[in-house]
Amino acid sequence: MKKFIFLLLLCLLSILTVGCQNAKQHEEREKPVNGNTSDGRIETRLAYEQKDHKVSFKFQVKNQTGHAVTYHFPTTQRYDFKIKDTSGKVVKHFSEGRFFGQMTGTLTLEHGETKAFETEVSDLKPGQYTITFWLTAAESQPSTTINFKVK
């Protein structure tokens, strides 16, 4: 019986620790930053395409620094985005309400290499929007923002 209670307490402690880490990571990602490095630039691009009621986004990160760049991720999440309407209200935040695996990972971009991340949004009403898309890496968070229209 004592072993059961000990295991139960250990599980609860683990769950609380993971929850606190997620809250801290979310707080740190709140303000995306540009991906400049001291030796060059990390270039970002964001394109979109609307088909029917769905909008597809393609976020690209290109290493133009002259050397390999490695990003470290504290979870399985690699990117995040926020979509705001013309009043500035956030109407979609990709990571809000989602859980990501508590497994660290890395992404290494060689000089000149590009990595693309694609996602689709289907619940936007017709109108003008702004999207900010960024990597959720621990070191820096290359980002880009564009305006787009849903018809």
Q: Is residue 12 one of the residues assigned to a domain?
A: no
Q: Is residue 55 one of the residues assigned to a domain?
A: yes
Q: Is residue 9 one of the residues assigned to a domain?
A: no
Query: 138: domain range?
Result: 31-150
Q: Is residue 123 one of the residues assigned to a domain?
A: yes
Q: Is residue 4 one of the residues assigned to a domain?
A: no
Per residue of the chain (151 residues), give pLDDT as tens: 655 454 444 444 444 444 444 443 333 333 333 343 334 799 999 999 999 889 999 999 999 999 999 999 999 999 999 999 999 999 999 999 999 999 999 999 999 999 999 999 999 999 999 999 999 999 999 999 999 999 9
Would you say the pTM of this structure is higher than 0.85? no
Q: What is the CATH number of the domain that holds 42?
A: 2.60.40.2360
Least Cα distance to 76 among 63, 57, 95, 93 occurs for 95
Q: Is residue 118 one of the residues assigned to a domain?
A: yes
Split into its structural domains, the chain has a count of 1
